[in-house]
Amino acid sequence: MFQDALFVPDRNFRAKAAALPVAALVHAVVLTLLVTIPLLRVGDLPEIDLTDVIVVPAPPRPPLPPPKARAGNPGGHIRAKRAVAASADPWRFTPVVIPDGIVEEGFGVEGVEGGIEGGLDYGADGGFPRNFIGNMLYTIIGEPAEPVVRAAGDIRAPRLVRKVEPDYPEIARQARVEGVVILEATTDVYGRVTGVRVLRSLPFLDEAAIEAVRQWVYEPMVINGRPRPVTFTVTVRFVLKNSEERAGDR
């Protein structure tokens, strides 16, 4: 009977043990709400008292006392010295006496040390011909464009001073095309090529020849002391030799 009393299960203990987690959870939720609700509440902002501020200017300084009279000046007055600013430019000041007329300033031409008084009418030996530069500038700026002169007979083609080698097109190299392209070029008074047209064509090579000649620069053509545009013939030769491309002009 004593053993049976020791091992009798307590139903109330089991019920209390099962309700313990639920009670702990409820207490945790209540504590969380008690902490977070005051934080989430938006409080009213405190009122701020505004005070009008009036800015009053400072009172003026009292006048300075008069200076003490010196022994040589019994009246006590001090004469102020007039400071006149010295200027190196006299034209900034209005003259006291108005002149009767205006004197024109002369623009003297200073000569060169060792020169001849009065100069030379036709320049010196070894210089340009008379009015060469003047005629050139007048031709370029003042007069209408001069007609184009064709290089023929006594008029020779201008001298080439800058040459750009033409490129050998890949299609012409593969087709083994070689030969001569004859062009007609026109230069302006400065020696620059302004126009190119084909006189004798060669398949696949015309554009390469034209593109190269457009970049060439010639010596200006001067006829009777005046620069003139000139038209002349240009020969561009394309040669294939030992699987190597070579292009040139004649």
Distance CA 181, CA 201 (A): 6
SS3 124: coil
Residue 171 CB-half CA count within 13 A: 7
- With respect to residue 69, please indicate whether it lies within any of the assigned structural domains: no
CB 206 within 8 A of CB 166: no
Percent helix, strand, coil in the chain, to 5, is 25, 20, 55
CB 183 within 8 A of CB 229: no
Strand partners, 181: 236
Would the pLDDT of 236 be above 90? Answer: yes
Q: What percent of the chain has pLDDT over 70?
A: 55
- With respect to residue 240, please indicate whether it lies within any of the assigned structural domains: yes
Confidence of residue 58 (pLDDT cuts 50, 70, 90): confident
- With respect to residue 12, please indicate whether it lies within any of the assigned structural domains: yes
Would the pLDDT of 131 be above 50? Answer: no
How far apart, in Å, are the Cα atoms of 161 and each of 36, 100, 192, 197, 219? 94, 65, 10, 21, 6
- With respect to residue 66, please indicate whether it lies within any of the assigned structural domains: no
The least confident of 139-153, 171-185, 198-212, 230-244 is 139-153
DSSP state for residue 125 in the 8-state scheme: T
Q: Could you tell me the CATH number of the domain that includes residue 185?
A: 3.30.2420.10
pLDDT score recorded for residue 150? 92
- With respect to residue 91, please indicate whether it lies within any of the assigned structural domains: no
Torsion angles phi and psi, residue 221, rounded to 5: -85, 120
CB 169 within 8 A of CB 177: no
- With respect to residue 163, please indicate whether it lies within any of the assigned structural domains: yes
Residue range 72-87: average pLDDT? Answer: 52
Tokens 């530069």 sit on residue: 133
CB 180 within 8 A of CB 209: no
- With respect to residue 206, please indicate whether it lies within any of the assigned structural domains: yes
Q: Are strands 226-228 and 221-223 parallel, antiparallel or unpaired?
A: antiparallel
SS3 206: helix
Would the pLDDT of 13 be above 60? Answer: yes
Q: What are the strands, taking DSSP E only, across 98-175?
A: 149-150, 160-162
Higher model confidence: residue 218 or residue 24? Answer: 218
> Rounded to the nearest 5 degrees, what angle is found at the Cα of 48, between the Cα atoms of 47 and 53?
155
Higher model confidence: residue 54 or residue 130? Answer: 54
* Distance, C-alpha 121 to centroid of its chain: 46
* Host domain of residue 233: 149-249
- With respect to residue 205, please indicate whether it lies within any of the assigned structural domains: yes
Which amino acid, 38? P
Distance CA 118, CA 141 (A): 30
Number of domains within the chain: 2
